[in-house]
Amino acid sequence: MSVHWPMIRRCLAHAMEPAFVDDFKLWKRIEVLVAALHIADEIERRSSGDKVGLMLPTSGLFGAATLATWILGKKVVPLNYLLGHDELAGVIAHSGIDYVLSAGKLLDHTGHRETLGDSGVKIGLAEELSFKGMPDIRMPAFTKDDDVAVYLYTSGTSGKPKGVMLTHGNLKANVRQCVQHARWTKRSKMLGVLPQFHTFGLTVLTVLPMTLGAPVIYSARFVPTQIVRLIREHRPVAFIGIPSMYNALLRVKSAGPGDFRSLEFAISGGEPLPHEVSEKFHERFDVRISEGYGLTETSPVTNLCVPWEYCEGSVGTALPDVEVKIAGTEGAEEGRRLPTGRDGEIRLRGPNVMKGYYKNEEATREAFDEEGFFRTGDIGRVDAEGRLFITGRLKEMIIVAGENVFPREIEEALAKHDSVKAAGVCGMTDGSRGELPIAFVEIEDGAEFDEAALKAWCRERLAGYKTPRQIERIDELPRSGTGKVMRRKLSELVQARERGDAESKAEAAT
């Protein structure tokens, strides 16, 4: 059955119940369905392709537009408005969309009105849509479990986005898995600020509540004082964020335990949760933060540390029907299942794992092992109770406030500058955003090193969160015998500095 049919049934059976509350209005379920039918009329008039681009702020409109796209039997392509001009244009070209629904204020704020125009797609603006009168009544499309529902673009190891194909069956499976594992019901009101172009925002904060019949409170921007106000006013059962958000909430002086009493789930994902943030949040608000784990390719949730099975540092046990294999990474053990307690690559298999990468059969083949397990590139171990602990990464990926950043794309951008002979990038620890990129550059003979100019160069070509926090000149980058830049050596240099800084602060404090 199509993923959208249960949503439609909810809208019809509970027409006057609240579905969403966003920055603009309260959406009753029947209003979501009527809006979806109006948007379907608009898409049908203006798009001749089988994919629809959505570039919208976190809101009820995104849910309505997603439902509209599926009613027509088309695929959703959520567009990340944080990307740079070239990156976004590349996604549009690769996906083949001919129509994008967006919002004028968002386009003006991000500067992507020109990007969309240059890409040749038709632009529909939310402000210009009319929801008056009765839309055409149409029979929603029937699709098979194996039919693609959404193309989610995520950075590959080269930094070039890959289109993850998630099917109707993938999304339905992950909704069912999450509901069973967390024991959520239609009374499990949620508060979400994560962008819906991310798989977590799409599945857990949009598809799941629309299927389950649980209301969602949306905020398009994360403003800590605003989030505390929304929790006080709406009393949600679940708040879903990333570690830097929880750290920011700790700085709201007016907030106290009473404000968070309704929260049964404070879920953190996207990046490791620092122990200090976890402990301070518990001490201040009497709420334990539950860490979860998943990837775009897994729809996304595979593990969640539920409150009644809380274990410090663990992302919890696997969701129903998710198989976790810890595989060896070196020598004779490579690819082999390791025993309990051993560190290895986390590999996953289940009905929520993607169909593959769009137009990239080679990458799809490489993503799975011979047993059909998806290779995550993350390192972890499973304890005797089946709880998963994330301990490292095989991939040279940097996670900036939940966003994946690959060193190679920053290095390539820097290398195009006339003054740069070569560049190497790694991550540095940041208390509020988890990690930040730091770059080391070799300068061409006779050229001047200008950090500000190089940062500006990067900002013009990359998303803001990918711009290095620091760019340092280095006489010679560490290289392997074949001349490849050894990012691991750069990471060791940065980590040694961080340890030295921590020791200096400790000495000063005493």
Secondary structure of residue 482 in the 3-state scheme: coil
The reported pLDDT for the residue numbered 399 is 82
Fill in the DSSP letter of residue 58. Answer: S
Q: Over 90: is that where the pLDDT of 268 sits?
A: yes
pTM passes above 0.85? no
Is 70 exceeded by the pLDDT of residue 484? no
Predicted confidence band at 305 (pLDDT cuts at 50, 70, 90)? very high
pLDDT higher at 73 or 133: 73
Lowest-pLDDT range of 114-128, 147-161, 418-432, 467-481:
147-161
Residues 6+ apart with CB under 8 A from 14: 29, 213
pLDDT at 296 over 50: yes
Contact 89, 61 (CB under 8 A): no
Q: Indicate the pLDDT class of residue 505, thresholds 50, 70 and 90.
A: low
Q: What percent of the chain shows pLDDT beyond 90? A: 75
pLDDT at 159 over 60: no
The pLDDT-based confidence of 509 (bands split at 50, 70, 90) is low
Whether the predicted pLDDT of 94 surpasses 50: yes
Q: Residue 362 pLDDT > 90, yes or no?
A: yes
- Summarize pLDDT for 169-190 with one digit per residue, the tens: 999 999 999 999 999 999 999 9
Give the span between the Cα atoms of 79 and 102, in whole angstroms: 10
Q: Please tell me the predicted confidence (pLDDT) of residue 157.
A: 47
Dump the DSSP string for 169-236. Answer: HHHHHHHHHHHHHHT--TT--EEE-S-TTSHHHHIIIIIHHHHHT--EEE-SS--HHHHHHHHHHH--
CA torsion angle 264 269 275 278 (round to 10): -20
> For the chain, which domains are there?
1-167 (3.40.50.12780), 398-509 (3.30.300.30)
Structure tokens belonging to residue 402 = 């939940």
Query: Each residue of 34-69: pLDDT tens digit?
Result: 999 999 999 999 999 999 999 999 999 999 999 999
Whether pLDDT at 502 is above 80:
no
